[in-house]
Amino acid sequence: MYNYNINSKKKQMMFGMFKNSIFGKIFGSLVLTLFLSGAFFIFISLKQQEGRITENLIKRSETLSKIASKQIEKAYDTGVWPFETLKLIISESEDIVFLWVTKPDGRIYFSDDPDVISMGKMIKEPFLGTEETLIQDWTYPMGVEEIKLIIQPLEIRDEEGRPWSLLMGVSLRSVVSAERAVILSSVVLFIITFFLAIIISFFLTKRITSPLERLREGTTIIGKGNLDYRIEIKTGDELEKLAGAFNKMTEDMANILNNFDEARKTADEEKNKTLAIITSFTDGLLVFDKEMFEKGNKLILMNPQAENILEINSKELIGKSFDEMFPFPQIKPLIDLVKKGPQKIIRRELAVKEILTVEVSVMPLTKRGRKIGFFIVLHDISREKEIEKIKSEFVSTAAHQLRTPLSAVKWTLRMLIDGDLGLMNPEQRTFLMQGYQSNERMIHLVNDLLDVARIEEGRTAYEFTLVNFEDLIDGVISETSQLSNKKKIHFVYEKLENRIPEIKADVQKIRLVVQNLIDNAIKYTPSGGKVTIFLKNDNMKVEFKIKDSGIGIPASDISKLFTKFYRSKNAIRAQTEGSGLGLFIVKNIIEKHGGRVWVESEEGKGSTFSFFLPVEP
């Protein structure tokens, strides 16, 4: 039983494979087509053969009926019935069942079987007395079989002129026998032809599918990686062309893979070089795979220098997103700084620990103009910061040391100028005034240096109170009006129709900002020029603009204008006074208030300095 089940399953499996194969489908289709075509052909042939046999039988019987009619008509005239002739006619065909002569009223006048007359057989049929030869199906009264009845009108008439009829019954038994013989021979011929067709179909299908099988085997071999294999099909038809196209595709694929392998080797070499450069890079580097604020951005690379700066192993961070890095205290300050937005972080300083300060730069990674991520560069500026600190301490100490003697010189010169120590002639007074003004400039420079030192050391204290910004500007304009009048500068202050709300700010620091900007506008505008102040307010912030018609600023100097000790080239050529510290102080004060300062200028056409302050810093 077990072996039978196994064999049965194997047979089912083989039949399923045969049924689903191309060979099975083509072979089955051909066999089915031939079978249906043969069956249809036999059916049509049998129908035609049946019709021809019946038609021939009827024609022959109809001819015999006409011959018999002539003989009966002669016999009626002579009174001698030709029994022997009629029997001979009947014997000519085994299919003639009977031969009757009937009167129009249905009485049988003559019959080949005398018993029919003795029984007084009557026929009541509408076809009696017809003038035309008729052939129709009829049931033989002496039996049950269906026959063909030939009704032949005779040239014998009754008193009413109606013709007598010759009735000839023709059996279809011979037709049935002939049909059976034809069917038998047709079936035998069909079976023989069908089996021959199966054999021919098998070999024809084999001829069609053999190249396909070789093609399948070839694709299997090539699919396993043997790209040197070539499919050999020589049929001279589309299959040969298909095999050739497949061989060409395999060859092209092999070339592509060879090129790909070479490109991959080159890419691996470049990758190794890049990794070597990144590893030996003196700055820390962190690379992320998506844009900064895109969901799911993950750290994909972190070089050893970044590990040293942040004091964390890269394995703990690789593959993590910003949100997943928050639990690490070493990197949280960096993430907080970066999350402020790349537009605000071009170069920012970050104190990682007490003795380590880094400059953080955030830049996008682009490929063919499309952003694919970003990277963070950590540049150690601890040494620079230490040097700056030492320099600031030196400047602060030197400034403090200079302030006392400069103050003593100032008051001594002031006493001499005022005549407290005796009268002086005009020439002496002029020399003393020049010395006094030079001393004042030195005092201003020392004060600026002290302000810068306090800013850099973070020692500048801010006292935020509610400030009326318009009144503050009015006060500074009044203080500088003497200087603007002296240079005959047309000074315009365009106030807003609605009063600006009070802002929260350090009064002294904002006064210093406004004074510096107004002083610069007057200083760098030639006599007879124009200085205009504008204000804007949107309830969230207040914006201040001061526009002058002065010497302007070269485009190459604008980016450096707010750095320490920097003065534009045309300002130096104009021999105007200045230390290059005013705008640096302005920028730091505005940014401490949460605002921003900028400049728009064109050399020779004047400048416009602007800043905004939030209502609530």
Q: Is position 253 within any domain?
A: no
What CA–CA distance (Å, rounded) separates 435 from 424? 15
Please tell me the predicted confidence (pLDDT) of residue 611.
Answer: 94
CA angle 87, 89, 92 (to 5 degrees): 110
Contacts with 509 (C-beta within 8 Å, 6 or more apart), sequence order? 462, 589, 592, 593
Q: Is position 531 within any domain?
A: yes
What CA–CA distance (Å, rounded) separates 289 from 320? 11
Q: What is the CA radius of gyration of the chain?
A: 63
User: What residues pair up with 99 in beta bridges, in sequence order?
Assistant: 168
Shared domain check, 466 and 410: no
List the end-to-end C-alpha distance of the chain, in Å, as a whole number: 94
Q: Is position 11 within any domain?
A: no
Structure tokens at 120: 């007084």
Quick one: how far is CA 488 from the chain centroid?
Answer: 68
User: What residues pair up with 146 in beta bridges, in sequence order?
Assistant: 139
Please tell me the predicted confidence (pLDDT) of residue 258.
Answer: 80
Please tell me the predicted confidence (pLDDT) of residue 249.
Answer: 81
Supply the CATH number for residue 206's domain.
3.30.450.20
What CA–CA distance (Å, rounded) separates 483 from 504? 30
Q: DSSP letter at 122?
A: B
Q: Is position 239 within any domain?
A: no
Continuous segment of H or E residues that includes residue 198: helix 173-223
Structure tokens at 398: 């030197």
Cβ–Cβ under 8 Å, residues 569 and 558: no
Continuous segment of H or E residues that includes residue 360: strand 356-367
DSSP states of 288-353 as a string? ESS-TTSTT--EEEE-HHHHHHHT--GGGTTT--HHHHTT-TTTHHHHHHHTT-TTT-SSEEEEEE
- Specify the number of domains making up the chain: 4
Helix, strand or coil for residue 358?
A: strand
CA dihedral sign of residues 362, 341, 598, 352: negative
Final residue of a structural domain among 456, 483, 516: 456
Write down the residue that tokens 């120590």 correspond to: 421
What does DSSP say about strands 490-494 and 530-537: parallel, antiparallel, or unpaired?
Answer: parallel
Structure tokens at 51: 């019709």
Shared domain check, 112 and 74: yes
Structure tokens at 483: 């200087």
Q: Is position 252 within any domain?
A: no
Amino acid at 243: A
Shared domain check, 468 and 449: no
Final residue of a structural domain among 195, 226, 257: 226
pTM above the 0.85 mark?
no
Shared domain check, 157 and 81: yes
Write down the residue that tokens 């020049």 correspond to: 434
Averages of pLDDT over each 10 residues, the chain, 617 residues: 52 52 67 73 71 74 78 74 70 74 80 62 74 77 69 82 83 70 75 78 73 76 76 72 78 79 78 75 81 69 84 82 77 74 57 75 78 81 75 67 73 78 80 78 71 68 87 89 87 85 89 91 90 88 92 86 79 67 87 91 90 86
Write down the residue that tokens 């004042």 correspond to: 440
Return phi, psi of residue 368, to 5°: 55, 40
CA dihedral sign of residues 363, 321, 276, 266: negative
Side-chain-facing half-sphere of 502: CA atoms under 13 Å: 8
Shared domain check, 300 and 213: no
Supply the CATH number for residue 571's domain.
3.30.565.10
Range of the domain at 345: 281-380
What CA–CA distance (Å, rounded) separates 278 from 284? 9
Contacts with 344 (C-beta within 8 Å, 6 or more apart), sequence order? none
Structure tokens at 471: 């009144």
What CA–CA distance (Å, rounded) separates 266 from 258? 12
Contacts with 538 (C-beta within 8 Å, 6 or more apart), sequence order? none
Please tell me the predicted confidence (pLDDT) of residue 344.
Answer: 45
Structure tokens at 517: 């900007």
Amino acid at 496: L
Cβ–Cβ under 8 Å, residues 360 and 381: no
Shared domain check, 523 and 418: no
Return phi, psi of residue 575, to 5°: 55, 40
Q: DSSP letter at 374?
A: E
What CA–CA distance (Å, rounded) separates 29 from 27? 5
Final residue of a structural domain among 336, 351, 380: 380
Shared domain check, 606 and 526: yes
Please tell me the predicted confidence (pLDDT) of residue 302.
Answer: 86
Shared domain check, 471 and 451: no
Q: Is position 333 within any domain?
A: yes
Cβ–Cβ under 8 Å, residues 465 and 507: yes
Q: DSSP letter at 470?
A: H
Return phi, psi of residue 151, to 5°: -105, 110
Shared domain check, 27 and 169: yes
User: Measuring CA to CA, which residue among 42, 34, 37 is closest to residue 201?
Assistant: 34
CA angle 167, 170, 174 (to 5 degrees): 175
What CA–CA distance (Å, rounded) separates 298 from 293? 11
What CA–CA distance (Å, rounded) separates 86 from 429? 184
Shared domain check, 119 and 217: yes
Cβ–Cβ under 8 Å, residues 52 and 188: no
Contacts with 229 (C-beta within 8 Å, 6 or more apart), sequence order? 218, 221, 222, 250
Q: Is position 493 within any domain?
A: yes
Write down the residue that tokens 């061989």 correspond to: 247
Continuous segment of H or E residues that includes residue 512: helix 507-523
Helix, strand or coil for residue 243?
A: helix
Count each helix (H run) and each strand (E run) in the chain, helices first.
Answer: 16, 17
Q: Is position 260 within any domain?
A: no
Amino acid at 312: I
Shared domain check, 285 and 321: yes
Shared domain check, 478 and 444: no
Quick one: how far is CA 442 from the chain centroid?
Answer: 69
What CA–CA distance (Å, rounded) separates 390 from 382? 12
CA dihedral sign of residues 265, 267, 271, 274: positive
